[in-house]
Amino acid sequence: MNGKLNARRVETLNEPGRYGDGGNLWLHIGPTGGRSWVFRFKRDGRQREMGLGPVDLVPLAEARRRAVEHRRTLWEGRDPLAVRKAEKAAHRLEEAKTVTFAEAVQRYIEAHQDGWKNPKHRQQWVNTLATYAEPVFGGLPVAEIDTDLVLRAVEPVWKRAPETASRLRGRIESVLDWATARGLRKGENPARWKSHLENLLPARSRVAAVEHHKAVPWRDMPDAWPRIAKAAGMGAAALRFAILTACRSGEVRGACWAEIDLEAREWSIPAERMKASKAHR
């Protein structure tokens, strides 16, 4: 029977504990003063609870109405917690119908960009997907992206620029995996390579042979160095600096005066600019 509490009592109660209103509805006041409504019920011999919202957002009358709905659900033989979970899943699927792939890309980048060391990495993601994927299905709901759409974006690039196409496919796969984890789509990832697109696209090694940049054998460096030393321009100077410090080209190109102590003849590269995320001197 309801009615053990009233609005005035709910407003003035502040002692931590639980206060019953009847009909499975309880007011819960936590140790720090947090106040919320709880629906307590027994299901399959187990005592269970589900929150109905904080007191400052859900007034007593609304809490009672929600408790009545959940008691009706119990009377119908259903679990209120399971019903609410299913309703939330359905809501997420409805949301997915309005979230486009382009929006999913933006949300994925916002979620991951803090973990990317190089600021250019974000721009590369934006450019690759904006150039090749979004013209094909950027405006479509992320839940509707299928294998055919992925192939329409990737296949034209696969033969002429396999490295770009491979990155494109991987980035589409990552965005779709994120969307699945967020409940915005269901099923297998249509951009997955293993046991899926590998059966529909030729291997990169067969499309274009990998061509590495030529390197000077270390034994030939004494003969090559005089020519490198005479070369003019910033690029030549950066090359000499990279050779003498044995650092990666990206570390050299990103160097700034604040990292260099001319008097001590030291170059200190901060951890965020190192591949292993450890400072290097």
Q: Split the chain (281 residues) into runs of 10 and give each run's mean pLDDT.
A: 79 92 94 94 91 94 95 93 89 78 94 80 89 94 94 92 92 96 90 93 71 80 88 89 89 89 91 82 91
Would the CA dihedral through 196, 105, 170, 114 be positive or negative? Answer: negative
The pair of structure tokens assigned to 142 is: 């992320």
Question: What is the pairing mode between strands 35-43 and 46-54?
Answer: antiparallel
DSSP H/E element including 48: strand 46-54
Task: Report the pLDDT value the prediction gives residue 1, as an integer from 0 to 100.
Answer: 44
Task: Report the pLDDT value the prediction gives residue 271, as an integer from 0 to 100.
Answer: 83
The pair of structure tokens assigned to 174 is: 């990552």
Residue 41 sits at the vertex; the CA angle it makes with 38 and 44, to the nearest 5 degrees, is 145
Task: Report the pLDDT value the prediction gives residue 212, as an integer from 0 to 100.
Answer: 67
DSSP H/E element including 101: helix 101-112
Strand 25-29: give its sheet, edge to edge.
17-22, 25-29, 35-43, 46-54
- Tell me if 60 sits within 8 A of 10, measured CB to CB: yes
CA 78/CA 70 separation, integer angstroms: 9
Task: Report the pLDDT value the prediction gives residue 148, as an integer from 0 to 100.
Answer: 96
Strand spans (E) along 175-261? 260-261
The pair of structure tokens assigned to 52 is: 């109905």
**What phi and psi, each to the nearest 5 degrees, are found at residue 18?**
-125, 135
CA 134/CA 213 separation, integer angstroms: 32
Residue-wise pLDDT tens digits, 11-27: 999 899 999 999 999 99
Predicted structure pTM score:
0.52
Instruction: Give the three-state DSSP class for 184.
Output: coil
CA 169/CA 239 separation, integer angstroms: 34
Residue type, 178: W
The pair of structure tokens assigned to 243 is: 């050779």
The pair of structure tokens assigned to 177 is: 């995996």
Task: Report the pLDDT value the prediction gives residue 194, as an integer from 0 to 100.
Answer: 93
Half-sphere exposure (Cβ direction) of 64: Cα atoms closer than 13 Å: 14
